[in-house]
Amino acid sequence: MNISTRIILVHTTLPANIGSAARAMKTMGLTDLVLVSPKFFPHADATSLASGASDILANARVVETLADAMADCEVVLGASARNRTINMAQIDAREAGLMAQQYGAKGAKLAFVFGREDRGLTNEELQLCHGHVFIPTNEAYGVLNVASAVQVLSYEARMAHLLADNAELTTAASAIEPERMPITLVPWDEELVAGADMTQFYAHMEQALVAVDFLDPSNPRQIMTRLRRLFGRTRLDKPEYNLLRGFFKRVIAMKPAAPKQENI
């Protein structure tokens, strides 16, 4: 069983963790590994800890930014044990595994993102994601190694695939508590928008908001952060995306041109 779910590791310091993560992936049937600016890679420690999963390392892609790593992904879930200032859609590991199976079955790419060993993902990186996935660990001691976290989420993705293959998938897929502001999975008949296009979408939206003086670039507050959260929950398809991009273009075009200054 080859599971299409992507694993993204951001700014990994210890190459041994990359190798251990690759091994965790292979045991569960995941093969798509992307590394965002690792401190050391390739490295002998990564190869050693990967054991029989050296093929995962050989095929891993190295990119400069998280935006590059998620550019072709329709759904991105950032793994974090911490609550943040602005709440995002929070999904536990089991729900995330179900989402990986269901989106994958429809041909959409889903990725799990894991941060640095010492401090995880930054708020800015987590805000690039569509949701915040957490592993419900022991409240007295909830510290997980990066590779261990990769193992847990890879396991949940595999179990969801096995259940679906055996036609035993239960109503747990829809049993998401409303107060968690979940990412709702609904049937669609149009292609979903990938991460690279959404990056352009948010930049275009910001230009339109500035054009109508709704957003002050010198004091943006949290307007774009909240709009990212809103559209991250909504999941645009291509016609919706094109409609809104056309609207932004029209709004910007309506802004009066700045008066020309005459030379004296």
Task: Judge whether residue 214 has pLDDT over 80.
Answer: yes
3-state SS, residue 127: helix
CATH of the domain at 64: 3.40.1280.10
Among residues 205, 215, 217, which one has the least CA distance to residue 251? 205
Please indicate, yes or no, whether residues 158 and 45 belong to a single structural domain of this protein: yes
Please indicate, yes or no, whether residues 162 and 224 belong to a single structural domain of this protein: no
Burial class, 24, CB count within 10 angstroms (exposed 0-12 / middle 13-18 / buried 19+): buried
Residue 226 domain boundaries: 195-254
Choice among 50-54, 124-128, 147-151, 165-169 with the minimum mean pLDDT:
165-169
Confidence of residue 169 (pLDDT cuts 50, 70, 90): very low
User: In this predicted model, what pLDDT tens digit does every residue of 50-61 receive, in sequence order?
Assistant: 999 999 999 999
Please indicate, yes or no, whether residues 7 and 138 belong to a single structural domain of this protein: yes
Please indicate, yes or no, whether residues 122 and 249 belong to a single structural domain of this protein: no
What is the reported pLDDT for 177?
Answer: 47
Please indicate, yes or no, whether residues 16 and 140 belong to a single structural domain of this protein: yes
In the sheet that holds 75-79, the strands lie side by side as 61-63, 30-36, 3-10, 110-114, 75-79, 131-134, 90-92
CATH of the domain at 231: 1.10.8.590
Q: Count how many domains the chain has.
A: 2
Please indicate, yes or no, whether residues 176 and 199 belong to a single structural domain of this protein: no
Please indicate, yes or no, whether residues 167 and 207 belong to a single structural domain of this protein: no
Asked, for residue 134, whether it belongs to a domain, the answer is yes
Task: Judge whether residue 2 has pLDDT over 60.
Answer: yes
Single out the residue in 148, 180, 212 at which a domain terminates: 180
Please indicate, yes or no, whether residues 7 and 119 belong to a single structural domain of this protein: yes
Beta-carbon contacts of residue 107 (< 8 Å; ≥ 6 apart)? none
C-alpha dist (Å) from residue 22 to 65, 79, 80, 107: 20, 17, 19, 23
Please indicate, yes or no, whether residues 88 and 215 belong to a single structural domain of this protein: no
User: In this predicted model, what pLDDT tens digit does every residue of 65-96 receive, in sequence order?
Assistant: 999 999 999 999 999 876 656 667 789 999 99
Asked, for residue 259, whether it belongs to a domain, the answer is no
Highest mean pLDDT out of 3-17, 114-128, 190-204: 3-17
What predicted TM-score, i.e. pTM, was given to this entire model? 0.79
Single out the residue in 145, 180, 215 at which a domain terminates: 180
Confidence of residue 172 (pLDDT cuts 50, 70, 90): very low
Please indicate, yes or no, whether residues 143 and 209 belong to a single structural domain of this protein: no
Please indicate, yes or no, whether residues 29 and 159 belong to a single structural domain of this protein: yes
Please indicate, yes or no, whether residues 94 and 204 belong to a single structural domain of this protein: no
Asked, for residue 187, whether it belongs to a domain, the answer is no
